[in-house]
Amino acid sequence: MTDQQTVAPPAPPEEPGTRSPRRSRGDGSHARNFSAGFLAKLVLVALVDALGVYGILTALAVESWGIVAFLALALVVVNWVYFSRRAVPGKYLVPGLLFLLVYQLFVMAYTGYVAFTNYGDGHNSTKSDAIESIAIQTETRVEGSPTLPVTVVRSGDELGFAIVQDGEVEVGTADEPFAPVDGASVDGDRATAVPGWEVLGFAGIAEDQEAITALRVPLSDDSADGSVRTQDGSTGYVYQPTLVYDPETDTFTDTATGETYTPSDSGNFVSEDGDRLTPGWRVGVGFDNFTRVFNDPRLTGPFLQITAWTFVFAALSVATTFALGLFLAIVFNDPRVRGRKVYRSLLILPYAFPGFLSALVWKGMLNPKFGYINEVLLGGADIPWLTDPWLAKVSILMVNLWLGFPYMFLVCTGALQSIPEDTIEAARIDGAGRMRILRSMTLPLLMISVAPLLISSFAFNFNNFTLIYMLTGGGPNFVGTPVVVGHTDILITMVYSVAFESGTKQYGLASALSILIFVVVGLIAWLGFRRTRTLEEI
């Protein structure tokens, strides 16, 4: 191909006139294929721009300022990258990076944000939601009060209820207590027409639902008598609030005792003597979640043991799956093995089934009395595969090997193809043994592409929640510890036990703990990755 070419001028040929001289520098990428490649790019970028501009307009309309800012920035970047000469690598990176930025980094940022809040059970939403919830939860029906068939009526913008008291129709609104009206018609115990008011049918009620359920009509001038409200638009009950919110002072007051509840820094209304109202709301708590890790005695107990096992588990998982995967990849990379196509396909079977299903099956197979392993394979042995602290660890590693080797097998099979066969052949002719070729030629070459995968596989297993949770649930449990953790728990499952199972869900604490774990694993990964630099060519 190169032979046909005469010596080409290093600079790109002259512009066909449409391009400004400033642009003639650079890589000359569009010089020749202006018609096809450039047009394709033009159309694609135009499409992206159009979507972006449309998105900005829509986002402006719904006032999503975050999206507006992101789209505007993205548009500038995309257009600069694709029409600039300087940003050639960018042209290849931007699409993937944009997706990464939106979907992955958002999750990270959100987790980071939550780690500094008390988000979790009891602190689930905003303060206004909490006030509303407390108000509706503490409004109680006046004991012994009757069930009132209510007719919802409207006059202009004002809504009211009409009820029948002693055969007489009375109408009231939010401001006016019930008062008799003349000339109304009654059907049974329900008012059907009220002069001066329009009676709303079901459809009319359905259109103004929130206003109607929010309406409280005082029974009389004395507020202690309570007020009537309806939830379904046809039946009313007399209610009396036990706590009243005052927006001026931002406090709740108990109508019976007069006790006041004021908002606290931890996101609850709290009385003088420490009674908290639920729900609370989400507030920032600074580094509280992080410091709790070091102050909570429940976490310090088995912490070291669990940390050690986490590292052992992750490292051995990577080592075993990689060793088996690589071994099999090499074994079947020999063209003389007939049927290897089918062999290979069957080897990835464990990978093709849902992981939690496989974990359940393994759990059944490892059952000490009735499992296949003991009952059939070992002829009725009574080996406590999942209930002995050491055997449970072995079992977990074995099952993880079964689940994980196909991945390594696939990766190694692919990566092996980059190793030129003639080089290996030459070494063999030179008399190098099989192991020597593997150790000094195949492995180093393979490591170039596979090393980062091993690091990320380590990180994955470090946080392999599903396997532990499905197979042993962390058990066998330590006896009598103040938080339920066991011999096979790893850090992430311990976080789960502490933050979710022992009581309420504490997303803030869980986030903080998982960020701490991330810092540890991230550091290890970073160090490991720095080492791979030496393996890299160039």
Partner 1 sequence: MRRSIPLTAAALGITLALAACSGSADPADTETSAGTDATASGTLTMWVDDTRINEMEPVVAAFTEETGVEVELVQKASGDIGKDFVAQVPTGEGPDIIVSAHDGLGEWVNNGVVAPIELGDKAADFSDSAIAGVTYDGKIYGTPISIENIALVRNNALLTETTATTFDELVAQAKGTGTPFSVLIQQGEASDPYHLYPLQTSFGAPVFEQSADGSYTDTLALGGPAGEAFAAYLAKLGTDKVLDLAIDGDKAKQAFLDGQAPYMITGPWNTSAFAEAGMDISVLPVPSAGGQPAQPFVGVQGVFISAKSENPVLANELVVNYLSTEAAQDMLFEEGGRMPANAASAAKVEDPILKGFNDAGSTGAPMPAIPAMSTVWAFWGATEAQIISGQAEPAGAWNTMVTNIQDAVDKV
Partner 2 sequence: MADTAVKRDLQLRGRRWWLEVGWRHVVAIVTIAACILPLLYVLSASLNPGGTLTGSNQLFRTIDLENYRDLWGRGYGSWFVNSLVVSTVTAVGTVLMGGAAAYAFSRFRFQGRRSSLTGLLIVQIFPQMLAFVAIFLLLLSIGDVFPVLGLNSRFGLIAVYLGGALGVNTFLMYGFFNTVPRELDEAAKIDGATHAQIFWTIILRLVAPILAVVGLLSFIGTFGEFIVAKVVLQRPEEFTLAVGLYFWAADERTARWGLFAAGAVLAAIPVILLFLFLQKYIVAGLTAGSVKG
Q: Residue 282: helix, strand or coil by DSSP?
A: coil
Tell me if 124 contacts partner 1 by CB under 8 A. Answer: yes
Complex with partner 1: residue 326 or 512, whichever CB lies closer: 512
Placement of tokens 């011999």 in the chain: 487
Report what 124 binds from partner 1, partner 2, none; CB cut-off 5-8 Å by kind: partner 1
Tell me if 305 contacts partner 1 by CB under 8 A. Answer: no
Which 422-451 positions form the footprint of partner 2 (CB under 8 A)? 422, 445, 448-451
Complex with partner 2: residue 184 or 510, whichever CB lies closer: 510
Interface region with partner 2, contact rule CB under 8 A, candidates 76-84, 150-158, 212-220, 455-463: 455-463
- List of long-range contacts for 164-169, beta carbons under 8 Å, 24+ apart: 164/189, 164/190, 164/191, 169/194
Among 63, 207, 221, 248, binds partner 1 (CB under 8 A): 207
What is the per-residue binding string for partner 1 in 381-400, x denoting contact by CB under 8 A? -----xx-------------
Complex with partner 1: residue 41 or 340, whichever CB lies closer: 41
What is the per-residue binding string for partner 2 in 323-362, x denoting contact by CB under 8 A? -----x--xxxxxxx-xxxxxxxxxxxxxxxxxxxx-xxx
Among 284, 364, 433, 522, binds partner 1 (CB under 8 A): 364
Tell me if 81 contacts partner 2 by CB under 8 A. Answer: no
Give the whole-angstrom CA distance, residue 280 versus residue 269: 7
Report what 126 binds from partner 1, partner 2, none; CB cut-off 5-8 Å by kind: partner 1
Smallest gap from Cβ 398 to partner 1, in A, equals 17
Count helices and strands (H / E) in the chain. Answer: 21, 17
List the Cα angle 71/72/78 in 5-degree steps. Answer: 80
Specify the length of the chain in residues. Answer: 538
Contact indicator for 321, 457 with CB cutoff of 8 Å: yes
Interface region with partner 2, contact rule CB under 8 A, candidates 56-64, 127-135, 151-159, 240-248: 56-64
Tell me if 308 contacts partner 2 by CB under 8 A. Answer: no
- Sequential DSSP letters for 396-427: HHHHHHHHHHHHHHHHHHHHHTTS-HHHHHHH
Question: Closest Cα partner for 490 from 517, 524, 528?
Answer: 517
Give the whole-angstrom CA distance, residue 496 versus residue 470: 13
Report what 28 binds from partner 2, partner 1, none; CB cut-off 5-8 Å by kind: partner 2
Which 157-176 positions form the footprint of partner 2 (CB under 8 A)? none
Q: Residue 163: helix, strand or coil by DSSP?
A: strand
Cα→Cα distances 291→286, 299, 300, 493, Å: 10, 12, 13, 20
Interface region with partner 2, contact rule CB under 8 A, candidates 142-150, 173-181, 287-295, 371-379: 371-379
Question: β-strand 269-271 against 190-193: which pairing, if any?
Answer: unpaired
Tell me if 503 contacts partner 1 by CB under 8 A. Answer: yes
Give the whole-angstrom CA distance, residue 282 versus residue 263: 12
Complex with partner 2: residue 199 or 410, whichever CB lies closer: 410
- Sequential DSSP letters for 493-515: HHHHIIIIISSS--HHHHHHHHH
Tokens representing 245 are 């919110």
Tell me if 521 contacts partner 2 by CB under 8 A. Answer: yes
Which 262-291 positions form the footprint of partner 1 (CB under 8 A)? 278-279
Which 88-107 positions form the footprint of partner 2 (CB under 8 A)? 88-93, 95-97, 99-100, 102-107
Which 507-536 positions form the footprint of partner 1 (CB under 8 A)? none
Give the whole-angstrom CA distance, residue 56 versus residue 45: 16
Among 84, 185, 262, 504, binds partner 1 (CB under 8 A): 504
Smallest gap from Cβ 482 to partner 2, in A, equals 23
Q: 244 φ, ψ to 5°?
A: -120, 135
Question: Closest Cα partner for 314 from 104, 114, 99, 467?
Answer: 467
The angle that helices 340-347 and 389-416 make with each other, rounded to 10 degrees, is: 140
Interface region with partner 1, contact rule CB under 8 A, candidates 106-114, 209-217, 283-291, 411-419: 209-217
Interface region with partner 1, contact rule CB under 8 A, candidates 170-178, 332-340, 472-480, 513-521: 472-480
Smallest gap from Cβ 214 to partner 1, in A, equals 9
Among 365, 471, 490, 494, binds partner 2 (CB under 8 A): 365
Q: Residue 174: helix, strand or coil by DSSP?
A: coil
